[in-house]
């Protein structure tokens, strides 16, 4: 055997012995992680009010909260009848953060036809921030102007978008 | 780094950032509104006169010409000094909102006899009824009011009248000592001292204007 091959074999055997010594006792520590997300959820509540600036009792002035397609109480249907020029209807509907993170008001969209001068829609307030379990009121006013026709009906929606607090 | 690679990297980073922005959580609530107006409607009620609702002294000929929800018109002929005639006028709020009396206008036809006009007086009061026909109040009109002052008296005495939906006002006669009776109707009287105006005519319209209660 040539000298060089002998040396190589010695080197291999030495390395194997070194490996055996490294395979001896071991230990490990493990960090097990469970990460879950929260929920952003806001809902409308009963218990608000639809009031008109008079004492007439021959009208409907109410709202009901309905579940949307996702079974969240995200839809309120307001009905107000028998208004007249000069009448003002004020709608106040509570909204509550039922999620697990704080909310921040994003946008309020009124799809009311602004060219219709017979009525005026005025947003009075909507909660800008909602902590978890906190409630606030969405309030707006519908005013019937002088030229509004008799037996008229208008339909519109008020959509309030909330986003997570840190956005 | 080549320029094209640098641009691609920038693009990828930009798209990632966009993705992060759109991915933020949101929720929305929707309030659907249905808003309706009511209507204002005041009408004369009972479109047909009965014998007790339009009557006069002997020899006076009476006939209703028009009577519907908006107009009452009748003709009287063969009047004479001391003659009387009575009418029942009932006005009802048939709208959906309260109404308030605005004004009354009495207009005389151009060919009316001034002498006859000056020699007719009217006596009247108001009875107010609720939608179920229950008497809920009375208001004084006037006794022996000259026809030429009828408009002013109507306006002064009806000035604060408000009728809720369904309520109505009957214009009846003046009180008698025993109190008012529905049989005692608004009474027109020709002055018994009238010496002229034979074969004369008189026509006049009484217009009641109403407005919504909050105006």
* ipTM for this prediction: 0.78
Reported pTM: 0.75
Q: Is B154 a domain residue? A: yes
Q: Is A94 a domain residue? A: yes
Alpha helices in B54-192 (DSSP H): 114-117, 150-157
Least-confidence region, from A77-86, B10-19, B204-213: B10-19
Q: Is A19 a domain residue? A: no
| Contact of A41 with A101, CB cutoff 8 Å | no
CATH code at position A152 = 2.60.40
| Chain A neighbors of B27, CB-CB under 8 A | 40-42, 72, 74, 99, 103, 161-162
**Each residue's pLDDT tens digit, B169-203:** 988 876 544 444 445 678 888 888 888 877 788 88
Q: Is A146 helix (H, G, I), strand (E, B) or coil?
A: coil
Q: Is A23 a domain residue? A: no
**Each residue's pLDDT tens digit, B54-101:** 778 888 888 777 777 777 777 788 888 888 888 888 899 999 999 999
Residue range B120-136: mean pLDDT, rounded? 90
Name residues of chain A where pLDDT drops below 70.
1-2, 12-23, 69
* Per-residue pLDDT, A94: 97
Q: Is A5 a domain residue? A: no
- Domain housing A123: 42-164
> Hey, of B21, B32, B40, B42, which one would you mutate to test binding to chain A, going by the most A CBs within 10 A of its CB?
B32
Look at residues B50, B71, B47 and name the one whose alpha carbon lies nearest to residue B62.
Answer: B50
Alpha helices in chain A (DSSP H): 3-22
| Contact of B48 with B90, CB cutoff 8 Å | no
- Tell me how many residue pairs between chain A and chain B have CB atoms under 8 A apart: 138
Phi/psi at A58 (5° precision): -100, 50
Q: Is B24 a domain residue? A: no
For A81, the closest of B24, B36, B40 (CB atoms) is B36
Q: Give A2→chain B minimum CA distance, Å.
A: 52
**Each residue's pLDDT tens digit, A67-116:** 776 778 999 999 999 999 999 999 999 999 999 999 999 999 988 888 88
CA distances from A72 to A38, A40, A76, A126, B148 (A): 16, 12, 11, 19, 70
Q: Give B193→chain A minimum CA distance, Å.
A: 51
- Domain housing B137: 42-212
> What is the total count of domains within chain B?
1
The two structure tokens encoding residue B154:
């109507």
The two structure tokens encoding residue A42:
């806001």
> What is the total count of domains within chain A?
1
The H or E element that residue A147 is part of is none
| Contact of A44 with A95, CB cutoff 8 Å | yes
| Contact of B67 with B53, CB cutoff 8 Å | no
Give the rounded percent of residues in chain B with a pLDDT score beyond 70.
82
How many C-beta atoms lie closer than 10 Å to residue A124's C-beta?
A: 12
């Amino acid at each position: 055997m040539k000298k060089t091959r002998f040396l190589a074999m010695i080197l291999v055997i030495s390395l194997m012995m070194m490996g055996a010594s490294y395979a001896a006792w071991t230990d490990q520590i493990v960090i097990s992680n469970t990460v879950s997300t929260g929920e952003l959820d806001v809902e409308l509540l009963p218990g608000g009010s639809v009031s008109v600036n008079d004492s007439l009792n021959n009208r409907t002035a109410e709202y009901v909260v309905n579940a949307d397609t996702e079974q969240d109480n995200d839809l309120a249907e307001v009905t107000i009848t028998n208004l007249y020029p000069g009448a003002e209807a004020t709608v106040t509907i509570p909204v509550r953060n039922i999620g697990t993170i704080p909310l921040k008001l994003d946008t309020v969209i009124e799809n009311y036809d602004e060219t219709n001068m017979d009525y005026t829609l005025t947003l009075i307030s909507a909660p800008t921030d909602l902590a978890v379990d906190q409630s606030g009121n969405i309030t707006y006013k519908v005013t019937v102007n002088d030229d509004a026709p008799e037996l008229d009906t208008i339909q519109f929606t008020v959509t309030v978008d909330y986003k997570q607090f840190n956005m | 780094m080549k320029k094209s690679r640098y641009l691609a990297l920038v693009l990828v980073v930009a798209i990632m950032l966009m993705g992060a922005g759109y991915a933020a959580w949101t929720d929305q609530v929707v309030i659907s509104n249905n808003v309706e107006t009511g209507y204002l409607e005041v009408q004369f009620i009972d479109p047909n006169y009965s014998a007790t609702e339009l009557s006069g002294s002997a020899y006076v000929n009476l006939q209703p010409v028009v009577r519907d929800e908006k107009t009452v018109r009748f003709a009287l002929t063969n009047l004479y000094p001391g003659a009387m005639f009575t009418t029942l006028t009932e006005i009802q709020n048939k709208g959906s909102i309260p109404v308030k009396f605005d004004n009354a206008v009495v207009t005389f036809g151009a060919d009316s006899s001034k002498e006859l006009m000056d020699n007719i007086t009217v006596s009247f009061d108001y009875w107010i009824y609720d939608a179920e026909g229950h008497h809920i109040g009375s208001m004084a009109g006037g006794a022996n009011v000259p026809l030429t002052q009828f408009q002013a008296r109507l306006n002064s005495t009806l000035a604060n009248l408000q009728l809720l939906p369904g309520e109505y006002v009957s214009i009846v006669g003046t009180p008698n000592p025993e109190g008012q009776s529905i049989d005692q109707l608004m009474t027109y009287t020709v002055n018994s001292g009238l010496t002229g105006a034979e074969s004369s005519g008189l026509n006049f319209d009484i217009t009641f204007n109403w407005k919504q209660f909050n105006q």
